[in-house]
Amino acid sequence: MSADSDPVLEADGLQKYFSQSDGIVDRILGGGGKVKAVDGVDLELRAGETLAVVGESGCGKSTLGQTLLNLHAPTGGTIRYRGEDITGLTGGSMRPYRAELQMIFQDPLASLNPRQTVGDILAAPMEVHGIGDSSEDRRDRVRELLERVGLEARHIDRYPAQFSGGQQQRVGIARALAVEPDVIVADEPVSALDVSVQAQILNLLEGLQDEFGVSLLFITHDLSVVRQVADRVAVMYLGEIVETAPVDELFETQHHPYSEALLSAVPRIDPDARGGRIVLEGNVPSPLDPPTGCRFHTRCHRVIPPADWPADQPTFRRAFTLRNRVENGEIDPKAARRRLEAEGEPAGDEAVADHIVDTSLPGSVDDLPPEAREAVETAIGLLVAGEDGEAADRLAAALPSPCTDEVPRLVEPSRGRTAACHRIDPDAPGAPMADD
Ligand SMILES: Nc1ncnc2c1ncn2[C@@H]1O[C@H](COP(=O)(O)OP(=O)(O)OP(=O)(O)O)[C@@H](O)[C@H]1O
């Protein structure tokens, strides 16, 4: 495949929100929240390539894959297949495209009808899409397909449960190929399988892709799988694509700090390779209420300090972590007081505030620049006095960052690569740090 080949499937500003109005989250929050599972994705899958979509669990990968195939009605944006707008097509109007756009699922057994033989499972979509002249012809094609995916043709009348997990996934692959598709979205196709079987299925997919010229969107959380199968990678975080790059380039350099953190967790062959594992702050925020500005700012180890910050960036990150914890309501002065009391320690307001600073600020407060230190101590005092909003405002004023205020643009740091981070955008607010 060529990196410059035409896009087969394109997303432009694609959004998929799920309504929570009937769910438990609604009852807790008291409002009809929207889970912003996919939120403004631009992406193109090019002819014959394998594009991996990677990111942590819950970042929206599956929803993106399913929305691209119109299995979910998109909330916004457009989807084009070979230049034709197919956004939101359903039923009969989607039928001409359905055969071209196929899906392979993570759990092969759950996606195969247990009461049908594999022969029937594979022949049914052929019949729907008018492939094969007769049922005998389709049965011959099914036998060929079974052999092509490494199964035995004589097992055509077996039921899915009579196959092993790896064999069931081979049936899933055969079913996708049965209608001679142009695009396959494979959603974690090997993550339910034993490691030894994973490699066989990945090899099979690669071989079939070359043979059939299919474009593959490969969804996975596993970067070692990405390296084996992908030509390009799109890194997803909280409903957005934060970086795209050819796979080898992404493993060499990362422009987005989230990609950098993901890649830092991949075991290196060379034990002297530079850089240790980057441990991100906190948890993935809720897609019901994603952070402002850059969605990654709450966890980003490279969050940008204000231009007049008098210390280094890691010191800012420490203070900024406390800011986030206060903003997110993660600090509970009452619990801190109870703990001190239980330990027989002094538990007056001042002691509680000191305890919170000690336990919620990474590192020592003494290492902060004087103004930041004063802001931290004042803010925690306010928090202990029950003035949560005031506390958060005080910290936001003392520890501002362009990352909380401005949504980063997707820029092209080099040909064929994109990333959305203020640090690589020459027009972005905030000065990159010398030690960055
Ligand atoms: N049908 C649905 N209704 C409501 N929320 C949903 C629905 N499907 C997914 N979500 C939510 O959308 C977000 C993205 O989920 P999605 O499954 O797409 O992520 P993912 O990256 O594929 O994760 P995983 O790898 O765990 O499957 C999650 O917060 C999830 O809870």
Tell me the DSSP string of 346-366: --SHHHHHHHHHHHHSSS-GG
Q: How confident is the model at residue 157, as a pLDDT?
A: 96
CA of 367 to the centre of ligand 1 (A): 41
Q: Which residues are within 8 A (CB) of 404 and not within 5 positions of it... i.e. 6 or more apart?
A: 291, 292, 293, 294, 297, 396
Identify the residue whose C-alpha is closest to ligand 1 atom 7: 18
- Candidate of 22, 24, 35, 241 to mutate for ligand 1, largest count of ligand atoms within 8 Å of Cβ: 35
Largest CA distance in the chain: 86
CA 45 to ligand 1 centroid distance, Å? 22
36 lines ligand 1 (CB under 6 A): no
Separation of alpha carbons 24 and 124, rounded Å: 39
Q: Which amino acid is at 19?
A: S
Taking the CA of residue 187 as reference, the ligand 1 atom at the shortest distance is 22
93-125 exposure pattern, b = at least 16 Cβ within 10 A, e = fewer? eeeebbbbbbbbbbbbbebbeeeebbbbbbbeb
**Closest ligand 1 atom to 286 CA:** 29
pLDDT for 196 equals 85
Distance of alpha carbon 353 from its chain centroid, rounded? 37
- Distance from residue 187's CA to the centre of ligand 1 (Å): 12
**Ligand 1 atom nearest to CA at 18:** 4
Tell me if 60 CB under 6 Å of ligand 1. yes
Residues in contact with 31: Cβ distance below 8 Å, sequence separation at least 6, in sequence order: none
Predicted confidence at residue 1, as pLDDT, reads 47
Nearest CA to ligand 1 atom 25: 57
Q: Which residues contact 420 (CB under 8 A, 6 or more apart)?
A: 240, 241, 242, 243, 256, 294, 408, 409, 410, 411
Distances (CA, A) of 28 to 23, 24, 283, 395, 420: 9, 6, 20, 28, 33
Distance 10 CA to ligand 1 centre (A): 21
d(CA 267, CA 38): 29
Ligand 1: does its nearest atom lie under 6 Å from the Cβ of 169?
A: no
Give 10-residue mean pLDDT values along the chain (436 residues): 73 94 55 87 95 94 96 96 94 90 90 94 93 94 94 95 93 92 94 88 89 93 91 97 97 96 81 74 89 96 95 96 94 94 93 94 94 96 95 97 94 94 85 45
- The string of DSSP codes covering 22-51 is TSHHHHHHTS--EEEEEEEEEEEEETT-EE
For the Cβ of 35 lying below 6 angstroms from any atom of ligand 1, the answer is: yes
Q: Which helix (H) or strand (E) holds 400?
A: none
Determine the angle formed by the axes of helices 313-327 and 349-360, rounding to 10 degrees. 120
